[in-house]
Amino acid sequence: MDNPVPKKADLVSPFLFRIEWKDGDVSEIKARDLRLSCPCAGCVDEGTGKPLLDPTAVREDIILLGSELVGRYALSFVWSDGHKTGIFAWPRLKALGELGSGA
């Protein structure tokens, strides 16, 4: 698939992040699902791709404190557990949104 282009990306609530795509799709991703999918070197082994993050260590009530654009290609998030090193490229966010919608 082509690189997805976001039209609008913002927090709906501290628990939910919403992205409207240029192609008309909408992705809504839960704060905790985002946290569990964090691709940073602290959460995923860069060499093997093996997850280092223990999902049981992430609280059910974790929330998003904010998000920030990383250039034109990605977003980074700040969670209530203090984590903020993950950089989520748009295709990754689009894929996460599609998982979440159950489509």
Query: Of 85 and 101, which CB lies nearer to Zn ion in the complex structure?
Result: 85
Could you identify the residue written with the tokens 């698939």?
1
Stretch that binds Zn ion, among 6-14, 17-25, 34-42, 60-68 (CB under 5 A): 34-42
Work out how close the CB of 5 gets to Zn ion at its nearest, in angstroms, rounded to a whole number: 25
Q: Which stretch binds Zn ion (CB under 5 A): 5-13, 67-75, 82-90, 95-103?
A: 82-90
Q: DSSP label at 8? A: E
Give yes or no for residue 34 binding Zn ion (CB under 5 A).
no
Output the six-digit token pair for 98: 């599609």
Residue 40 within binding range of Zn ion, rule CB under 5 A: yes
Q: Render 42-81 in DSSP notation, one character per residue.
A: TTB-TTT--B---GGGS-TT--EEEEEEETTTEEEEEETT
With contacts defined by CB under 5 A, name the span among 1-9, 13-21, 81-89, 94-102 that binds Zn ion. 81-89
Separation CA 18–CA 8 (nearest Å): 8
Residues that bind Zn ion (CB under 5 A): 38, 40, 42-43, 86
